[in-house]
Structure 1
């Protein structure tokens, strides 16, 4: 008899695990996978601080346009956990989620997994079940001890490393880079996008210690000039890393790169919340961006200036563990209008009153996003929503049509 009876039972079980429950270490994952055959397909691991989701999405889209059956695991989700696991660009069915969730729980150790570990295992079982040709796994917050690192990926892509999750990973670029560098494996190949010198030195040192190939994306691939499905000049850096990764992958596995497929994959790639411009009926133009740390806000500010956009208002809040001191001057510099600080229904979310107090006189606290958006109804102009992917999740819950989900 199945342990869980419906997809809603699966959701309820994951909710009980706790979205933000963390217990770094690979012991539970290693015990779980001791009872399963290793995946027979190659695994591409995307690790870093910013740009992981975009880079993963570009790589998957290019691989799919080359005729490969793809598995993609990303996080977090906006409205439904089903967004996290896709095969050939489509979410798994609710029936697949139920069947695979029970398979996880019926495996010894399956009932000890954390929220993220449970979904990581379910994703890999799904990719094995569906017979994918390649699995693209976006790491969570870590590297060495991230649940996605248990699979010994053949190719690791490093997006820019910056200060984030300092209370877990360390308070310096060096410490965080040391953790991320731990995602490299002795039998793998690694490629990195642009890095701070300190982070680059750590990655390069780890690769040398392992004796593996270590490449810089700019030395493998030229800047991507074709249209991208994701807005922003900074996405060209993510696209270049994905192209470099794809070329290395193609060389490793005998795939003939096709320029037309490459261009089409870049143009059709889509992931919500990355300079995503939408306009719900009766509302102003919204720019949705998940920038949630200093590095990402710098990139966001650069893109706003590049496009000549000065928001008339900003909607902002973040997780309580974020360091606001470096973020707030950037936020205030985006525009001179009001800054609306809504509450978020997540246990780690900062209290809107605390965020508003830290920002200053321009800021107003609201109970939730719906309340914060109500004064904007019927107005014109441009409103920026940023600070947390979980804040964007609140928006997409109100307007799910903008997620462009495929069943």
Structure 2
């Protein structure tokens, strides 16, 4: 079904002829075009993208391929593995999604984004190969990323799964190593509202005979079931490897190997533990100096990211209960005079479950709508915050932040969360 090299298609109704010379499109024109060639944002299935992949005649065999699936922790796990590989002198490519401010964030080669023209050239190759097969934005972007990664001939390619696993576009590639991070309920419309069902979808990246690092310390039973069915070898967090988190340090073990009193990383310790297990599986053993560089030097945009002081403003893309539970634990580490939340979410998320870990705080709630498809209105959020003294509607993230930071005390804490879109709007304000 899948491959490392190189059924019915949707016709695009002549949209390919809208701009006859694809090589003349600018980067921004390409991004607009990619959004126009399919009627759906999400269209599950691998037949269409696999057909185009075969036509591209590209190969990732020059690289060791690691596929990473999960609800939470994919981005931070990939980033730490990437950082660790570069510390060890390896070349590495990362494909991730979504981006926050710049589409080019989706493909990194040795930690760097590529020039817009490189993406344009990759888009043109995919456009030529697809013919009359319609691709979603994500499918087109994924194939273009594969073109760029194949050309880079890096030692390691880290491929982050976008949605699910079994039917995600990234799953047309057979990995050498698979990774499954934290499992929670998300994308209910597509994946269901049960961890067992979601776990089985995520486990779709497993392949017979390969090693799989499972970072969730309490994985759904369905992941064990798929591992048995596929006959792969799993390394489970809490069994083959694991961690103990202390107030100001942590310990990590992998088999008989123990690393003690490590500095706390800038990402969840659970994900850092998973990343270290992945590096071990890739044959990478970092020196103490290299490990300290990774744990203390690696940061990830939109994950507990401080963008302003006095008052302190922190951004986090948390948008499901597992992620907001972690955010709540981080908030407790801060000393602050008053707490302010700025939140905007998508309507198909578990909004009530996501807000629950944060409702225990005495805080002002500043609600914003998201002007994107599936964006939740403030009226959807407000009934879930009954009983809180201060709940205010705003028309945008920028308006909410302007008002909150102007009125806040210099010792206050402002948390912006709920969606990649919410955080992206905040970053636009602070990156001007």
Q: Give the TM-score normalised by the residue count of structure 2.
A: 0.84
Q: Residues 389 and 108 from structure 1, CA distance in 2 versus in 1: closer, same or farther, beyond 3 angstroms?
A: closer
Q: Which residue of 2 aligns with 1:230?
A: 266
Q: Which residue of 2 aligns with 1:38?
A: 59
2:317 to 261, 278, 290: 290
Q: Which residue of 2 aligns with 1:72?
A: 94
For the 8 Å contact 2:82–2:92, the answer to whether it is kept is yes
More helix by share: 1
SS in 1 for 2:22: coil
Q: Distance in 1 between matches of 2:186 and 2:155?
A: 33
What does residue range 130-279 of structure 1 map to in structure 2 within 5 Å?
130-196=152-218, 199=220, 201-218=221-238, 219-220=240-241, 223-224=251-252, 225-227=261-263, 230-231=266-267, 235-250=268-283, 257-279=286-308
**Greater relative CO, 1 or 2 (CA 8 Å, sep 6+):** 1
Q: Distance in 2 between matches of 1:229 and 1:10?
A: 38
Range that drifts further, 297-306 or 105-114:
105-114
Q: Residues 227 and 311 from structure 1, CA distance in 2 versus in 1: closer, same or farther, beyond 3 angstroms?
A: farther
Deviation (angstroms), 1:291:
1.0
Deviation (angstroms), 1:257:
4.8
Q: Which residue of 2 aligns with 1:367?
A: 395
For the 8 Å contact 2:35–2:136, the answer to whether it is kept is no
Range that drifts further, 316-325 or 139-148:
316-325
Q: Which residue of 2 aligns with 1:24?
A: 44
For the 8 Å contact 1:71–1:127, the answer to whether it is kept is yes
Q: Distance in 2 between matches of 1:366 and 1:110?
A: 44
For the 8 Å contact 1:352–1:367, the answer to whether it is kept is no
SS in 1 for 2:351: coil
Q: Residues 322 and 9 from structure 1, CA distance in 2 versus in 1: closer, same or farther, beyond 3 angstroms?
A: same
Range that drifts further, 271-280 or 158-167:
271-280
Q: Residues 125 and 227 from structure 1, CA distance in 2 versus in 1: closer, same or farther, beyond 3 angstroms?
A: farther
Identify unmatched segments of 5+ residues in structure 2.
Answer: 1-20, 244-250, 253-260
How large is the RMSD of aligned CA atoms in angstroms? 2.2
Deviation (angstroms), 1:96:
0.6
2:25 matches 1:5:
yes
Deviation (angstroms), 1:375:
1.4
Q: Distance in 2 between matches of 1:12 and 1:64?
A: 34
Q: Distance in 1 between matches of 2:97 and 2:266?
A: 17
1:161-186 deviations in whole A, cap 9, x for unaligned? 11111121012111111111111011
Identify unmatched segments of 5+ residues in structure 1.
Answer: 402-407
Q: Distance in 1 between matches of 2:321 and 2:285?
A: 39
For the 8 Å contact 1:19–1:115, the answer to whether it is kept is no
For the 8 Å contact 1:49–1:161, the answer to whether it is kept is yes
2:370 matches 1:348:
no
Q: How many residues align?
A: 389
1:122-162 deviations in whole A, cap 9, x for unaligned? 11111111221111111112110111111111111111111
Q: Which residue of 1 aligns with 2:404?
A: 376
Range that drifts further, 321-330 or 150-159:
321-330
Q: Residues 95 and 343 from structure 1, CA distance in 2 versus in 1: closer, same or farther, beyond 3 angstroms?
A: same
For the 8 Å contact 1:61–1:266, the answer to whether it is kept is no
Q: Residues 324 and 257 from structure 1, CA distance in 2 versus in 1: closer, same or farther, beyond 3 angstroms?
A: closer
Deviation (angstroms), 1:191:
1.0
Q: Residues 328 and 369 from structure 1, CA distance in 2 versus in 1: closer, same or farther, beyond 3 angstroms?
A: same
1:72-130 deviations in whole A, cap 9, x for unaligned? 11111111111111101111101111111111111135852211111111111111112
For the 8 Å contact 2:38–2:135, the answer to whether it is kept is no
